Structure 1
């Protein structure tokens, strides 16, 4: 069963959705957003909920619920990830879709924002079951995704293999003559299936770059600075990898299984090697000691990189934070109350829509290569990514200083003003 509806304006808000709406309202007030355009931007365009059956390895049939929320496409096709996680629901998808709209607008990309996924714990399913779940979900989405309409990408617990399954399933529903023109229906694909060099590290590299750009603006050297990372998946690992190459020292890591610390430093590559051999877990790593999860954010460090899920830094733990910079590798890791506390303490926050935008910028490069039948080398991709990230960061940093606002508000203001300009110039269909 599928439903495709517009979300009612007065829908109940909670959690991440409440956060993103409060962030939007604050920035909209600051820029004096046209009230009619405000009405458009505070609701989603479309919301797709699908319930679909999948046969498990033991022969039993299980029913799954999948979501795809399309927030806004004033600047171009909807763009955003698909995540497989127990916390996926319609409100989470709404919040993440809105953040994607601001993120693509801020980065100057020809995209709108979307998000979605399936409510499940992937650890409970075999690889073959995950393939069947993914293919059935893709079939259920049907023509609500497409290379010029809505382009999914990897997110939490999805990866290049997931995107390859989506690509193959989507292409199989098209006539033979059209299949080669649909390669860009998803991004984040394996290299052999039309993916782009550098896409695997784009988000984490972007997190590193924004920290580097911030340090340059503040005239701070990253060498010997201590950083902690929450989430040692794709984003957390690559951010740590590049920070370590810059001379910074990783002293603590937290993942879904627990937290470890070593004040003398945790070698990034050794921890990656260990986690791969330990089913993705960092627990038991001999080069560090275990601590309580509740103590993680209060550790002594210079830079904190939350790169896991949303709402991890709250009013409850924000007071404990000793870092002087928080770089948001995850989407929505800091709630509104926590941010107020952190800003009062003089802690800088590089907001998610700036900090982790390397992923969607890398996806844009992959999309362009597929559209134009081109193949770019890794060096070219990374150079283009750094240039784009630098332009975006400097704009946010300067706006925050010129308008005397924090960096998140500055980022939202830039994104909203670009969307407002698009609506003012195009008008609204009567």
Structure 2
């Protein structure tokens, strides 16, 4: 990563954390959050920063930096993804950990909020090096993770294979119990993962989108949509929307931007991305160099499924979508959100729209703890039920109090956490 890119990433991560804290403070004031609850939630319970050496394929050793932020475990064990990226920073994972606490509270899950990662690019390393890095990080975390204490999951730069390695390492060094499978979620199905986990975040965003469309009396068939980011979340959202009869007309990722009013096959594009690592080259005749053309596409829905802070004051005024759905965490800055709401563009916020992943992670954890295996139909039905219940409650609060969906989601999360704290008390 260049010096310029590193500085930009640091500023973006700082912006994410500041944005999460700003929204938290605003809504804590709005609901008149109890003082002690406010103080507790304003900072993580624990911040771990770990430096650990790993032997490279050439025989030399490299020192890696890893993080694990444990924000809150009032409702249950800490829960949150592990992000492997050169842009990982303390501010980034602190902001994401707080979002996880709010997300789990909104979903009424018996889980808390956490986040972590390693500051490196896994694409620059061999499978053998990535395995050693993952396992060595797990060893360094030690008893700071566990099936009843802190349960990691995949995130940017990680996948089921990383979770399989983490689970196996933990089992051999710290556990050796049948419930050790529950130390992480997002594992491969063969190693105890749940069917439906990989698609859960993308599908969950679409289930929220469907409910919004019903409220607007807008049939899904024949609508158009754009996807920003075509990784795991974006691709599954696009596939589900395509099944519902909507047409993908614009897509952007780190490799290219495609605009095709005649429609883009989400199924064929997903196959291309699996083979080539990005959308570039799929439809060369539809590739455009001007990113502003993507943001200004007139579509019914735009799903933001890449990284944080992609919609800023610089491009918010260009957006002409009828609805924005935050499939990623923190993709819209607070300043950009004000512009969008002034334009009358509704936003389904991240702590609601992308909670599908943690919901199915919870299902996986339950299955592992009880030595059960649920069918795909059971998982999807339970996911849809939980998401729709959360969405409808947020909409009810938003309408009753004449506030945005994000504000209503924060109200629901904070009031639930406050209620539990006040009933349990703060020990000692």
- Band of TM-score, shorter chain: over 0.9
Provide the C-alpha distance between the structure 1 equivalents of 2:296 and 2:116, rounded to a whole number of angstroms. Answer: 32
Contact in 1 for aligned 2:72/2:112 (Cα 8 Å): yes
Contact in 1 for aligned 2:292/2:318 (Cα 8 Å): no
Contact in 2 for aligned 1:261/1:288 (Cα 8 Å): no
Contact in 1 for aligned 2:258/2:283 (Cα 8 Å): no
Q: Give the aligned partner of residue 134 of structure 1.
A: 134
Relative distance call for 1:175 and 1:195 in structure 2 (3 A) is: closer
Q: Give the aligned partner of residue 231 of structure 2.
A: 233
TM-score, with structure 1 as normaliser: 0.95
1:285 and 2:286 correspond: no
Provide the C-alpha distance between the structure 1 equivalents of 2:303 and 2:89, rounded to a whole number of angstroms. Answer: 25
The residue matched to 1:14 in structure 2 has which SS? helix
Give the CA deviation at 1:38.
0.5
Cα offsets for 1:82-126 (capped at 9, x unmatched) = 011111100000000000000000000001100010111121111
Q: Give the aligned partner of residue 205 of structure 2.
A: 207
How is 1:36-75 mapped onto 2 (pairs within 5 angstroms)?
36-75=36-75
Contact in 1 for aligned 2:398/2:408 (Cα 8 Å): yes
Relative distance call for 1:245 and 1:175 in structure 2 (3 A) is: closer
Give the CA deviation at 1:37.
1.1
How is 1:178-327 mapped onto 2 (pairs within 5 angstroms)?
178=177, 180-278=178-276, 280-286=277-283, 289-291=286-288, 292-327=290-325
Superposed CA RMSD: 1.1
Q: Give the aligned partner of residue 172 of structure 1.
A: 172
Correspondent of 1:411 among 409, 412, 420: 409
Cα offsets for 1:210-256 (capped at 9, x unmatched) = 10011111211121111111111110011000101111111111111
Provide the C-alpha distance between the structure 1 equivalents of 2:425 and 2:285, rounded to a whole number of angstroms. Answer: 58
Please, which moves more after superposition, 254-263 or 327-336?
254-263
Provide the C-alpha distance between the structure 1 equivalents of 2:228 and 2:269, rounded to a whole number of angstroms. Answer: 14
Contact in 2 for aligned 1:77/1:151 (Cα 8 Å): yes
Give the CA deviation at 1:402.
0.4
Provide the C-alpha distance between the structure 2 equivalents of 1:72 and 1:277, rounded to a whole number of angstroms. Answer: 39
How is 1:364-403 mapped onto 2 (pairs within 5 angstroms)?
364-403=362-401
TM-score, with structure 2 as normaliser: 0.95
The residue matched to 2:53 in structure 1 has which SS? strand
4+ aligned runs moved over 6 Å, structure 1: none
Provide the C-alpha distance between the structure 1 equivalents of 2:272 and 2:425, rounded to a whole number of angstroms. Answer: 56
The residue matched to 1:151 in structure 2 has which SS? strand
Provide the C-alpha distance between the structure 2 equivalents of 1:367 and 1:225, rounded to a whole number of angstroms. Answer: 37
Q: Structure 1 unaligned segments of length 5 or more: list them.
A: 1-12
The residue matched to 1:109 in structure 2 has which SS? coil
Q: Give the aligned partner of residue 3 of structure 1.
A: none
The residue matched to 2:251 in structure 1 has which SS? strand
Provide the C-alpha distance between the structure 2 equivalents of 1:175 and 1:248, rounded to a whole number of angstroms. Answer: 47
Cα offsets for 1:16-63 (capped at 9, x unmatched) = 010101111111111111122101110110000000111111112111
Cα offsets for 1:260-293 (capped at 9, x unmatched) = 1111110001111112221x11101127511233
Contact in 1 for aligned 2:142/2:174 (Cα 8 Å): no
The residue matched to 2:282 in structure 1 has which SS? coil
Give the CA deviation at 1:200.
1.2
The residue matched to 2:307 in structure 1 has which SS? coil
Q: Give the aligned partner of residue 93 of structure 2.
A: 93
Cα offsets for 1:310-350 (capped at 9, x unmatched) = 00111110000000100000000001000000000000100
Provide the C-alpha distance between the structure 2 equivalents of 1:122 and 1:301, rounded to a whole number of angstroms. Answer: 35
The residue matched to 2:261 in structure 1 has which SS? coil
